[in-house]
Every structure is written in structure tokens, then in C-alpha cells.
């Protein structure tokens, strides 16, 4: 009884490793980052709740300096760590980021189509150029795999030049051990 060598191999798949957020993640690599840092243009930042930590959220705001923070969760809450709604809005103000709740009209219902529609209405009336990153606050439990792509499509259709997507929390890919 010979075993098939292909099926007898044991593979251990390691859990992905969370990576810290760094200031250079949000700086334009073509500029002199330490002397004259410029924000990375065309960057969309997705912050996934409830997985994001308080430090990741604070650092993302501080380092990215987003022009807009667009709320796409049906129940916007900021109670992670010592963070609360008041301190989150203080952080938005310090970074001169405009917070917009695009799901308040959905009355707490999970409605991806409604959220995309609200985003499209915002984009058509504001026409952001993404000279500074745009941050999206989303809940993993409310979205599917296509949601990020649909947001990307909506932003590019509006005429904005999107160059990258940055997700928080960030993970290194898992590595299989043999």
C-alpha cells in the first residue's frame, strides 16, 4: 500500500502576522519624506471595525492626515480602548479631516447598496481629488468581498485618481511551514 506523496505531506499554515502602521506608509515616496513630507496622493484607507485597535486608529489618522473620513458602518461607534466618540472627533479636527456619516439615512440597517448610493451621491457633489488620503470606516460583519472593489470603482468613476488601497489592520501574508 503506497501512499500518494502529494496527499501525505503535512502543511502547517501559520496565522497572519499583524504589522504596525508607520508614517512612511502614508508619505509620497517621491518626496523628501523627512524634510518635506507630502501625503500619498490617490490613497484610499479602509479601517475595519471591530478588528482595529485604538493605537492603529489613532496612528492611521495622525500619519495619513485624511481629507475625509467617510462613515460606512450602520452603527458608528468609536469605543475601542480608551477612545470614544468625543476623542475620535477631536482627532478628526486636529488632522483637519472632514467626517461624514454616509449611512445615517439608513436608520441602522445593514444596506451595502444604500451605502454605495450615499457614497456615489457624495462623490458626485464633492468631486474629491484625493490629494490627501480618503479614509473609509467599515464593519467587517456588514460587508462582503466585493465591497472594497465597489468603493474603489465608485471613486474612480467619479474622476478621482486612485493609486493604492491601504487596509487597517494590516497583516503580513501567512507562510506555510513544511
| pLDDT, tens digit (0-9, with 9 covering 90-100), for 101-155 | 988 776 666 677 888 888 998 998 888 777 899 999 999 888 888 888 999 999 9
Domains of the chain: 39-177 (3.40.1010)
Give the pLDDT confidence score for residue 10 in this predicted structure.
Answer: 73
DSSP string, 109-136: ---HHHHHHHHHHHHHHH----SS-EEE
DSSP string, 9-76: ---EEPPPEEE---GGGGB-TTS-TTTS--B-TTEEEEEEETTS-HHHHHHHHHHH--SEEEE--SS-
Encode pLDDT of 52-106 as tens digits: 999 999 999 999 999 999 999 888 889 999 999 999 999 999 999 999 998 877 6
Report the candidate in 114, 108, 154, 111 with the shortest Cα–Cα distance to residue 134: 154
pTM for the model: 0.82
The SS3 call for residue 177 is: strand
Give the pLDDT confidence score for residue 137 in this predicted structure.
Answer: 95
Give the pLDDT confidence score for residue 178 in this predicted structure.
Answer: 45
Amino acid at each position: 500500500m503506497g501512499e500518494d506523496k502529494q496527499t501525505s505531506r503535512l502543511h502547517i499554515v501559520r496565522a497572519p502576522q499583524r504589522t504596525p502602521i508607520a508614517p512612511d506608509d502614508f508619505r509620497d515616496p517621491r518626496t523628501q519624506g523627512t524634510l518635506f513630507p507630502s501625503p500619498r496622493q490617490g490613497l484610499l484607507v479602509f479601517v475595519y471595525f471591530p478588528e482595529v485597535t485604538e493605537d492603529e486608529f489613532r496612528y492611521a489618522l495622525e500619519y495619513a492626515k485624511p481629507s475625509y473620513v467617510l462613515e460606512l458602518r450602520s452603527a458608528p461607534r468609536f469605543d475601542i480602548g480608551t477612545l470614544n466618540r468625543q476623542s475620535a472627533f477631536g482627532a478628526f479636527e486636529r488632522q483637519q479631516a472632514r467626517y461624514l456619516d454616509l449611512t445615517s439615512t439608513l436608520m441602522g440597517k445593514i444596506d451595502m447598496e444604500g451605502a454605495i448610493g450615499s457614497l456615489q451621491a457624495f462623490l458626485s457633489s464633492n468631486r474629491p481629488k484625493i490629494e490627501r488620503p480618503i479614509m473609509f470606516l467599515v464593519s467587517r460583519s456588514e460587508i462582503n468581498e466585493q465591497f472594497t472593489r465597489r468603493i474603489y470603482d465608485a471613486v474612480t468613476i467619479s474622476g478621482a485618481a486612485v493609486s493604492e488601497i491601504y487596509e487597517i489592520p494590516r497583516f503580513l501574508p501567512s507562510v506555510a511551514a513544511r
